[in-house]
């Protein structure tokens, strides 16, 4: 980065890293929905969008609220906020659209998405720290 680059550029990750992080989050949310549907003997493909859209919307809101593009791989600064808003927003949208929000589902979704959305960020952070320079 050049000395004349704006300060905001110093805090913003590269475009490719941001897009990769956003894609990883979206794929993990869709995988969560697909696995959930499959585990209940549901037709995965037919109802996948119905199950996934509330969480994908929550994910989008989470990315905006925490400004995830500034540090897309940060487990605490980005991951925890994106996770909390994805789960909270997803559950509110499921409730508003007449989908189930049983306590057991809230617990399973919260833990699964915590491992997924924060977990990959922890792995990236550890690999970056132990990787020889």
pLDDT of residue 131: 84
pLDDT at 10: 41
Q: What is the dihedral of CA 54, 60, 64, 65, to 10 degrees?
A: 30
Quote the pLDDT of residue 11.
53
Q: Is the pLDDT of residue 3 over 60?
A: no
Q: Helix 103-130 crosses helix 81-96 at what angle (to 10 degrees)?
A: 160
How far is 74 from 65, CA to CA, in rounded Å? 15
- 95 within 8 A of 88, measured Cβ to Cβ: no
pLDDT in tens, 76-129: 999 999 999 999 999 999 999 999 899 999 999 999 999 999 999 999 999 999
Q: Is residue 7 scored above 60 in pLDDT? A: no
Q: Would you say 87 and 58 are in contact if contact means Cβ atoms under 8 Å apart?
A: yes
Task: Dig out the tokens for 110 from the structure.
Answer: 């919260």
How much is the pLDDT for 6? Answer: 44
Q: What is the dihedral of CA 9, 12, 14, 16, to 10 degrees?
A: -140
pLDDT tens readout for residues 27-76:
999 999 999 989 887 778 888 999 999 999 999 999 999 999 999 999 99
């Amino acid at each position: 980065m050049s000395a004349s680059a704006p300060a905001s550029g110093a805090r913003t990750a590269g475009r490719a890293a941001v897009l990769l992080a956003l894609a990883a989050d979206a794929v993990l949310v869709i995988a969560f929905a697909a696995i959930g549907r499959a585990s209940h003997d549901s037709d995965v493909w037919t109802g996948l969008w119905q199950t996934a859209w509330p969480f994908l919307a929550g994910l989008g809101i989470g990315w905006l609220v925490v400004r995830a593009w500034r540090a897309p791989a940060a487990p605490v600064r980005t991951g925890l906020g994106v996770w909390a808003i994805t789960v909270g927003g997803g559950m509110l949208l499921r409730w508003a659209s007449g989908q189930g929000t049983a306590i057991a589902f809230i617990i399973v979704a919260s833990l699964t998405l915590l491992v997924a959305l924060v977990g990959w960020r922890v792995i990236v952070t550890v690999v970056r720290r132990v990787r020889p320079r």
